[in-house]
Structure 1
């Protein structure tokens, strides 16, 4: 499948899933189609405020299967559907990603190459406040080249800490 056609299929699937998943209070974060022999793997990542539970993934899987069964978006070639949560390895790109990760440690590389690591303390539609060693630094999303949540095993404020 050409990359242009694959992009069109991804966009169509995302569009078709928008309303049904919104009804479940879920956002589509990513749609990936990967060849796997004679089949394809359709991987869809979902997220919501407060995080995604296993029940949310199960509900999303049922709804996505229903929508795709009624659609011809995936064509005739067989595929395997995988529904997952967004995961910490995905970059923070949208304001909702920042909002959902307040209190998490983040590593930001700005568009001018500077690296900043700190805890997200606030976010709005245009910028996030990051606590860098006790100083709050406001970083506009337009100035972010890449931002990733850092994995913490003993996060302050967590039950295990």
Structure 2
């Protein structure tokens, strides 16, 4: 997709997405055989549920139908969210990933997997998991030191509340 078409689509669609209380994260046009697919990725601080995605999809479809932004050929519109292992590229992405485990590619070539505790304008406060029975450690990571970052999927992680509830139940039984 040309930069001009990408910019035109973003200029056309972003106000609609924003009016629905969502952020426009990504736009991509791919060719699939003779058809084209317009993929629009949206998100918000609270996440985007199926109703919000359906609403924004209808609004985008109507706007695209009344303009020639996609040209005369057929295309399919797909609207979705970034997914579980989303790339962290904007400040708001890091904020949304607070309390999540992330994998960082560092500018010096190193790699780090840690939990995001807090985010400010300069960087992140992280909890680096301990290895081989050692306790977790804290670390400050400036944004300038991050080359790439991506949220990691965690299976079987208990949230803090459920761990506290289990501990309280054990104390009540004793």
- Taking structure 2 as the reference length, the TM-score comes to 0.83
Partner Cα distance (2:140, 2:8) in 1: 36
Structure 1 residue runs of 5 or longer lacking an equivalent are none
1:37–1:159 CA distance, 2 compared to 1 (3 A): farther
Residue correspondences, number: 157
- Deviations 1:46-96 (Å, cap 9, x if unpaired)? 000011111111011011112212221111111000001111333100000
Query: Does 2:49 match 1:53?
Result: yes
Partner Cα distance (2:140, 2:87) in 1: 18
Aligned to 1:153: 155
Q: Cα RMSD between the aligned structures?
A: 1.8
Aligned to 1:131: 127
Q: CA deviation at 1:124?
A: 2.3
- Deviations 1:71-126 (Å, cap 9, x if unpaired)? 21111111000001111333100000001111100010111111111111111233
1:6-155 equivalences under 5 Å are: 6-133=2-129, 134-155=136-157
Q: CA deviation at 1:158?
A: 7.4
Using the TM superposition, name which of 121-130 and 38-47 deviates more.
121-130
Q: Contact (CA 8 Å) 1:88, 1:148: kept in 2 or not? A: no
Higher helix proportion: 2
1:132–1:8 CA distance, 2 compared to 1 (3 A): same
Partner Cα distance (2:10, 2:122) in 1: 24
Runs of 4+ deviating beyond 6 Å: 158-161
- Taking structure 1 as the reference length, the TM-score comes to 0.89
Using the TM superposition, name which of 115-124 and 125-134 deviates more.
125-134
Partner Cα distance (1:83, 1:159) in 2: 33
Using the TM superposition, name which of 93-102 and 12-21 deviates more.
12-21
Bigger Rg over Cα: 2
